[in-house]
Structure 1
Amino acid sequence: MTTHSHSPSPSPDARAPDPRAVDDRITPFHIDGLDVRGRVVRLGASLDAVLAHHDYPPAVKRLLGEAVALTVLLGSTLKIEGRFILQTRTDGPVDLLVVDFSAPQDVRAYARFDAERLDAMRGALPAGAGFDSGALLGHGHLAMTIDQGLSVNRYQGVVALEGGGLEAAAHQYFTQSEQIPTRVRLAVAEEMRPGGAPSSWRAGGLMVQFLPTEGGRVRPVDLPPGDAPEGTEIPEAQEDDAWVETLSLMGTLEDVELVDAELSSERLLFRLFHERGVRVFDAGSVVAKCSCSRDRVMNVLASFTREERTSLVEDGKIAVTCEFCGRTYDFKAEEIVDVDTDGEA
């Protein structure tokens, strides 16, 4: 892995930030002066490919784009091959989001929504107002799952969704599950093309985490004791100055900078953190790719009982459609119904 430094006092391998804006890339970075590490993701064609499988309304595309950007940010931190799955189940108009990232680069996603509720919500909005992602999601929960294969137990963290968006949920997850000071910014934009051509979608995300080498600089947030008398003041943990400065710099970031097709990730990082010295590492790619296959679908069907498989037969066949990519797999009834539980005929 090569390392490049951008700082006021350049090291021998320092260079200017790369001006080339490349989409569908994940750029890891480290800010030495703040003990912060992070990642930037910029999505273009890969997001369009994910969204193209379903006829989503613009509001759903925007929300799903945020979910894809967040999942890629988090999933790309996996050190081994595995899957990172983000899933929401809520009572809002968009009651289900699923984003599946297979390290190191493949992503697929799906959203389920109630068109009538979306229309009603749209009608209640003031003229020119956009949808709030928290209102689209409503209340429920968000689960983040790490699946490293059959030989390793799954790890899952769950946080409540209480009317807030995905950024807020990510912050809550890291506070209660990882106890790592973390800040996430997400942005999605629709690009209109001239001549009546179909629009395209872009998404961007930036995540920073405070990971000092010295012990004691990260203090977990104290939870209120359940037996504390009413009115008891709970002392707030004092945040480290470096993390306060990081949050201040993150506060200057605008959504348009995350989705600007002409602003490279390195220039964005330099703009935000050059005074503290930011190092970037080799960028990774993001590819829209579904992992479904005929064999995988057959294995899933083979796990059902004979009665369940029989109930799926229509006109002498079983048709299964992948929710992610929309591909349909047709099986003759005799291929599936008479398969034993080990997947053998």
Structure 2
Amino acid sequence: MLESVEVTDRYPQLGEFDFAGDDHVVPFSVEGLDVRGRIVQLGPLLDDILERHDYPEPVARLLAEACVVTVLLGTSLKFEGKFILQTRTDGPVDMLVADFTTPHSLRAYARFDAERLQQAVEAGRAGPKDLLGDGVLALTIDQGQHMQRYQGIVQLEGTSLEEAALTYFRQSEQIPTDVKLSVAKLVLPGEGGSREHWRAGGILAQFLPEAPERMRVPDLHGGDGDERDPDGAPEDDAWQELVALTGTIEPTELIDPTVGAERLLYRLFHEHGVRVFEGVRVADECSCSRDKIKGILQGFTAEEITDSVEDGAIRVNCEFCSKSYEFDPAEFGE
């Protein structure tokens, strides 16, 4: 069982677990509102992932959002496994992939059409919805070999990742959920001049009362003129107050290192008694290895092996970490 501390305005207590700060996902609960959730700020980890590929800024922003969603959901896994977020769309950025492997490893990459991206930027259509276009978002839980995979599919039709995540919870898990994401590129002074740094943050809050009927959403309009949430959210006062409180979050608060996760939680929920639990450190770690790639190549036919040879060797680059592996064709027989 995870230890917890109550978040108060006595700041020394806020760091009692030493889990706040960049690249840590902090679970929390607000018992007064029957809410549980997670909050994160990504910093150095995000720099490492994005700078490795030197993505154009619009692409980097999209992938940063994908990383935030992935760690918020992936760190909820209670078993050894992997959470995978992947988009396939017809937009200039036709694929985003981010996966989180328990207990703390994150990797991600984006695929885009440079010419179409430049055209979108010049036309002033470089927002997330424009770059993604139409397609699908797949959220997959992989429990390992010999275990069933669970996958949720959300249609992307000019929607952002934040909106798609909300749709996923509403349709697949049927748990009232609120999600907020924020991404920014900061220019900070340093030795040898200023340097750009990426930051991203997010919060996910879910309504989990003991009485299931409190989560229930109305199936049909009452027909008597009463107003209902167009998203089908429950009318429970606790949930409506939660939505109102998270609606006050400024995008800068989710990424500002001087605010921090715990201080933001205190500002939002101190009147209801917010409690934070030991956090999960997230690291930029790829799961590729020479043995894994060799295993894949061993499944190739002789013709495929021959076609893969260039200058007397087979070279494979990992799309996630950009590490290069070289193999002698003789390793795979005739």
Q: Could you tell me the TM-score, scaled by structure 1's length?
A: 0.88
Conserved? CA contact 1:7–1:275, under 8 Å: no
Aligned position for 1:227: none
Q: Is the 8 A contact 1:40 1:265 kept in 2?
A: yes
Q: Which residue of 2 is the match for residue 309 of structure 1?
A: 305
Distance 2:107 2:186 in 1: 21
Gaps of 5+ in 2: 222-227
Take 2:123 and 2:70, find their aligned partners in 1: how far apart are those partners? Answer: 31
Aligned-partner Cα distance in 1 for 2:41–2:332: 42
Q: How much does 1:305 deviate? A: 2.4
User: In the TM superposition, what is the alpha-carbon distance from 1:239 to its structure 2 partner?
Assistant: 1.9
Q: How much is the aligned-residue C-alpha RMSD, in angstroms?
A: 2.4
Instruction: Name which of 250, 256, 261 aligns with 1:254.
Output: 250
1:178-327 to 2 correspondence within 5 Å?
A: 178-194=173-189, 196-220=193-217, 222=219, 238-327=234-323
Deviation per CA, 1:170-214: give whole Å up to 9, x if none: 011111110001111111111113364431111101000001111
Quote the residue 1:96 is aligned against.
95
Query: Structure 1's 276 and 15: CA in aligned 2 closer, same or farther, altered over 3 A?
Result: farther
The question of whether the paired residues in 2 share the 8 Å contact of 1:204 and 1:259 is answered with yes
Match status 1:150 vs 2:145 = yes
- Percent identity over the alignment is 54
Match of 2:225 in 1: none
- State the distance in 1 between where 2:260 and 2:312 align: 54
Deviation of 1:18 after TM superposition, in Å, equals: 3.8
Amino acid at match of 2:202: G
Tell me, in whole angstroms, the C-alpha distance in 2 between the residues paired with 1:238 and 1:64: 31
- CA displacement, residues 199-238 of structure 1 (integer Å, 9 cap, x when unaligned): 11111010000011113111146389xxxxxxxx9x9675
CA 1:261–1:79 in 2, change beyond 3 Å: closer, same or farther?
Answer: same
Determine if the alignment matches structure 1 residue 334 to structure 2 residue 330: yes
Aligned length: 322
Q: Partners in 1 of 2:68 and 2:7 — Cα distance? A: 25
Asked if the contact 2:215/2:234 (under 8 Å) is kept, the reply is: no
TM-score of the pair, normalised by structure 2: 0.90
Q: Alpha-carbon deviation of 1:6? A: 3.5
Query: 2:4 matched to 1:3?
Result: yes
Moved more, 173-182 or 194-203: 194-203
The one-letter code matched in structure 2 to 1:183 is D
- 1:173 paired residue number: 168
Counterpart contact for 1:309–1:337, Cα < 8 Å: no
Name the counterpart of 2:52: 53
Q: Distance in 2 between matches of 1:15 and 1:193?
A: 27
C-alpha distance in structure 1 between counterparts of 2:129 and 2:105, whole Å: 27
- Give the partner amino acid of 2:198: W
Indicate how the Cα distance of structure 1 residues 308 and 249 shifts in structure 2: closer, same or farther if over 3 A, else same.
same
Following superposition, the deviation at residue 255 of structure 1 comes to: 0.6
Q: Is the 8 A contact 2:217 2:234 kept in 1?
A: no
Question: Retained in 1: the 8 A contact 2:29–2:276?
Answer: yes
- 2:40 partner letter: V
Paired residue secondary structure (2:53): coil
User: Is structure 2 residue 22 aligned with structure 1 residue 23?
Assistant: yes
Report how far residue 15 of structure 1 moved: 8.1
Question: AA paired with 1:157?
Answer: G
In 1, are the aligned partners of 2:93 and 2:112 still within 8 Å (CA)? Answer: yes
Taking the aligned partners of 1:16 and 1:274, their CA distance within structure 2 comes to 14
Any stretches of 5+ residues in structure 1 without a counterpart? 225-232, 339-345
Q: Is the 8 A contact 1:144 1:156 kept in 2?
A: yes
Aligned-partner Cα distance in 2 for 1:217–1:209: 13
CA distance in 2, matches of 1:254, 1:237: 22
Partner of 1:118: 117
Corresponding residue for 2:82?
Answer: 83
Partner-residue secondary structure (3-state), 1:131: coil
Contact 2:187 2:195 in 1 (8 A): yes
The 8 Å contact of residues 4 and 15 in structure 1, kept in 2 or not, is answered as no
Give the Cα separation in 2 of the matches to 1:187 and 1:150.
35
What's the CA shift string for 1:38-68, capped at 9, x where partnerless?
A: 0001111111111122120011111110100
Letter in 2 for 1:5: E
Q: Tell me how far 1:118 sits from its aligned partner.
A: 1.6
1:235-265 deviation digits (Å, cap 9, x = unpaired): 9675211111100001000110000011121
